[in-house]
Amino acid sequence: MNFDYKAHYEALEENIDHILVLSAQTKHVLSRRYETIISLIGDDLQKGKVLDVGSAQGYLSVMLLSKEYDVISLDISPLRVIKVRDRAANRGLNPNCIAADALDLPFVNGSLDVIVAGEVIEHLTEPEKALNEFYRILKPKGILIVTVPNDEKISYQVCIHCHKLTPSSGHLHSFDDKKLTRVVEQAGFNVLRIKKVFNPLNSFPFIYKLFVPLPYPIWNIADTFLNKFIKFTKPRFLLIKAEKAT
């Protein structure tokens, strides 16, 4: 399908209601994914230069800034970049915000310590090209963290902007652990860890209320337990941590 993802996201930002408030459950989903990403980065990279690719509303960028990382927040939508800057400024934080395409990143070779691409590559026409770009701009031994929906079934719907049949949520690709590992390794990375997180039972009302107040380490143990022993559901997200070869 001929899908102009850049035009799609620009139209989305121009038409979206920016006053929409995320539900408590959606905030819980996002915060747990972001906490998992930060745990994968590791304390040994504290204060390193981190590129948040596809920063969207800026929640992860703000969390990283609050932990004293040197954050570059990047999104294809200029409006989203402005929103990230405003959200950070309201908290006394000052990220470096850039509007750019993940397929053509405006950085010199070997200039970054960490790249996070959270729920990004499934949207791209050429995810392999983006991964090659990530490899190019990372320093030797630099860390890449990619998250995607776990083994998603791609569906289609009529877009409210262009009135054409388009992939739901703009997702062009589906990844399971084997496919994600393969494309990351093909870009030259060494895969260090792959992790599946957020069992759907987390969102059930009677379980959700129990899980929300849990500190991340305890929540992570509980979620891992559910993913291991509850076989009629599958984890919502797939995360991979990889290292640039020297």
Contact criterion met (CB below 8 Å) for 93 and 69: no
pLDDT of residue 46 exceeding 90, the answer is: no
In angstroms, the CA 158 to CA 8 distance is 12
51-97 tens-digit pLDDT: 999 988 889 999 999 888 899 999 988 888 888 898 888 888 988 99
The torsion angles phi and psi of 191, rounded to 5 degrees, stand at -75, 125
Identify the band that residue 44 occupies on the pLDDT scale cut at 50, 70 and 90.
Answer: low
In angstroms, the CA 41 to CA 245 distance is 17
19-42 tens-digit pLDDT: 445 677 788 888 999 999 999 987
pLDDT score recorded for residue 150: 93
pTM: 0.89
- Is the CATH number of domain 5-16+44-194+236-244 3.30.70.3270? no
In angstroms, the CA 176 to CA 153 distance is 11
179-226 tens-digit pLDDT: 999 999 999 999 999 999 999 888 887 788 888 899 999 999 999 999
130-181 tens-digit pLDDT: 999 999 999 999 999 999 999 888 877 777 666 777 777 778 899 999 999 9
pLDDT score recorded for residue 125: 87
- The neighbour count for residue 59, using CB atoms within 10 Å, is 19
pLDDT score recorded for residue 77: 86
Q: Which residue has the tokens 């770009």?
A: 133
Residue 96 pairs in a beta bridge with 72
Residue 169 CA neighbour count, 13 Å, CB half: 14
